[in-house]
Every structure is written in structure tokens, then in C-alpha cells.
């Protein structure tokens, strides 16, 4: 049996290539086991049900684990601390490995495929649980880093549109990210759109001054200065 667990963009469990319907109460237990370091049952129960008594939390977890093992055999390892079975693939692991994967990739078509993967790589959107907050932030930072690495790599291989897409997705998620503005400017320059590159700089400068009361980083200002005085970079 092969099983894959998708947590980026949405929650989805597939067994032998077929999607499996899983109730939300069991989804959150499987997701917590997948995302958190292996935890003893007692600790995981308290994380998932922090507002009730310890006995109530542990009873809830026992019921959920029994349901999961009965209806989805082979998903969980038979261990304590709790963990997924070794053969279960999780898409978050692919996001963590993406920088090293990109490092050896030379085909723009494959890089574009990874860019599409990174585009939707938001951890369990619409889930609002205290235990998940830190994991969502960690994945957000991984995603932003992966998008910029993808953008710089696409830029290196002459794919200005791909690099621009990577920078724009990153800026949609974090509008103050100056390294993404730099990538956006360089993508426009590669495409021969120097005026658009300067427009990006002016927009970034206006936003940073208005929202944070800071000037752009020297690398952005220097890039804009080169464009103004020399017409190219």
C-alpha cells in the first residue's frame, strides 16, 4: 500500500492513488501527527484538546486513534510516540527539500512545475487552531524562501516570466519582502522592461515609507540608480 497525505492547499489523503474521505475530527489528529515531532499520546492529546481535562483529552484521542486504525489501516505506525507509518508521503516534506531539488534542476519546464507546487503551498488554509499557528508560519517561511530560490534559478536560465511570477506570488504573501522586489525588478530588466523595473522600485519605496517608515534596502536603491543613470544593469 502507498499513501500520500496532502496538507498544502487543502487536506487530502490518497491510498493507492485513490482519495479517501476522512472526517474532520480524524483529519486534525493525522495532521498533528504528521506535522509535529513524534509526541507521546498524553502530550498530543493535551495539544489537540487544551481546554478540557487531561482525562477527557486522552479519551478523545483514544477514540480518534481507534477510528483511524480501523478505517485507514497502515496510515499510523504502531508506536508511542505517535508517528505516521514509514511509507506515508507528506507534501510538506517536499517543500522542505525543495531548495536542494532546485539546486540540481536545469530544465525550466521542471522549475515551472515546482513553481506551481509552491504557488499552492499554504499549510491547511482555513484551519484556525492554536497548535497549528507555529507550523503555518514555518511553512510560510519555507514557501517564501523556495519561491525566491525558484525565481533566481529561473532568472539564471533566462525565464523572466517565471521569475516574475515567483516574485509576485511571494509579494502577495509578504508585501514588505525587499528581496522579492529585487527579484521582480531583475525579471523586468531581463525582459527589457527597464521602466517597469523602476516602477516596481518606486512602488516598493512608497509602500515601505508609508507602512514602515523606512527607505528601501541599499541593494534596491542601487539597482534603481543604475537604471536611472545607465539605462541597464
Average pLDDT over residues 12-31: 95
What pLDDT is stored for residue 104 in this prediction? 79
Query: pLDDT tier at 232 (50, 70, 90 boundaries)?
Result: low
**Banded model confidence at residue 160, pLDDT cuts 50, 70, 90:** very high
Tell me: pLDDT of 3 over 70.
yes
Q: Which pLDDT band, with edges at 50, 70 and 90, does 197 fall under?
A: very high
pLDDT class for 231, splitting at 50, 70, 90?
low
Q: Do 93-230 and 3-89 have the same topology in CATH?
A: no
Given pLDDT bands bounded at 50, 70 and 90, which one contains residue 2?
A: confident
Average pLDDT in the 214-226 region? 94
**Superfamily of domain 93-230, CATH level 4:** Tetratricopeptide repeat domain (1.25.40.10)
In this prediction, residues 15-36 reach a mean pLDDT of: 95
Residues in the chain: 233
| The predicted structure's pLDDT at residue 80 | 84
Q: b or e along 60-88 (b: 16 or more beta carbons within 10 Å of the residue's beta carbon)?
A: bbeebbeebeeebeebbbeeeebbbeeeb
Q: Check pLDDT > 70 for residue 207.
A: yes
Domain definitions of the chain by residue range: 3-89, 93-230
CA distance 226 to 206: 19
> Could you give phi then psi for residue 205, rounded to 5 degrees?
-60, -45
Q: What is the pLDDT of residues 70-80, one digit of tens each?
A: 999 999 998 88
Pick the CATH number of 3-89 from 3.10.450, 1.10.1060, 1.10.10, 1.10.3470: 1.10.10
Q: How far apart are CA 233 and CA 223, in angstroms?
A: 7
User: Left if phi > 0, otherwise alpha if psi is -120 to 50, otherwise beta: which for 206?
Assistant: alpha
Residues ≥6 apart with Cβ < 8 Å to 95 = 8, 117, 118, 121, 139, 142, 143, 146
pLDDT at 107: 86
Q: What pLDDT score was predicted for residue 145?
A: 94
Share of the chain above pLDDT 90, in %: 85
- The 3-state secondary structure of the chain, one letter per residue: CCEEEECECCCEEEECCEEECCCHHHHHHHHHHHHCCCECHHHHHHHHCCCCCHHHHHHHHHHHHHHHHHHCCCCECCCCCECECCCEEEHHHHHHHHHHHHHCCCCHHHHHHHHHHHHCCCECCCCCCHHHHHHHHHHHHHHHHHHHHHHHHHHHCCCHHHHHHHHHHHHHHCCCCHHHHHHHHHHHHHCCCHHHHHHHHHHHHHHHHHHHCCCCCHHHHHHHHHHHHHCCC
pTM of the model: 0.87
Q: Is the model more confident about 200 or about 78?
A: 200
pLDDT at residue 1 in the model = 66
Taking only the tens place, the pLDDT of each residue in 99-152 is 888 887 888 889 999 999 999 999 999 999 999 999 999 999 999 999 999 999
Cα(127)–Cα(147) distance, rounded to whole angstroms? 23
Amino acid at each position: 500500500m502507498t499513501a500520500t497525505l496532502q496538507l498544502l492547499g487543502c487536506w487530502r489523503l490518497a491510498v493507492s492513488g485513490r482519495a479517501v474521505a476522512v472526517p474532520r475530527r480524524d483529519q486534525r489528529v493525522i495532521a498533528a501527527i504528521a506535522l509535529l515531532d513524534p509526541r507521546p499520546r498524553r502530550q498530543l492529546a493535551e495539544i489537540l484538546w487544551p481546554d478540557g481535562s487531561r482525562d477527557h483529552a486522552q479519551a478523545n484521542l483514544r477514540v480518534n486513534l481507534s477510528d483511524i486504525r480501523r478505517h485507514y489501516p497502515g496510515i499510523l505506525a504502531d508506536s508511542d510516540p505517535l508517528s505516521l507509518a514509514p511509507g506515508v508521503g507528506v507534501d510538506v516534506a517536499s517543500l522542505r527539500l525543495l531548495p536542494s531539488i532546485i539546486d540540481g534542476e536545469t530544465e525550466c519546464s521542471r522549475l515551472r512545475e515546482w513553481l506551481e507546487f509552491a504557488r499552492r503551498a499554504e499549510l491547511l488554509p482555513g484551519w484556525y487552531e492554536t497548535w497549528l499557528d507555529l507550523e503555518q508560519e514555518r511553512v510560510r517561511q519555507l514557501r517564501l524562501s523556495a519561491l525566491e530560490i525558484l525565481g533566481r534559478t529561473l532568472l539564471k536560465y533566462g525565464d523572466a516570466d517565471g521569475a516574475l511570477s515567483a516574485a509576485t506570488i511571494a509579494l502577495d504573501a509578504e508585501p514588505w519582502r525587499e528581496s522579492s522586489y529585487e527579484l521582480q525588478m531583475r525579471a523586468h530588466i531581463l525582459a527589457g522592461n527597464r521602466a517597469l523595473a523602476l516602477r516596481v522600485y518606486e512602488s516598493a519605496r512608497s509602500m515601505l515609507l508609508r507602512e514602515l517608515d523606512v527607505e528601501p534596502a541599499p541593494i534596491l536603491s542601487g539597482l534603481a540608480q543604475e537604471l536611472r543613470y545607465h539605462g541597464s544593469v
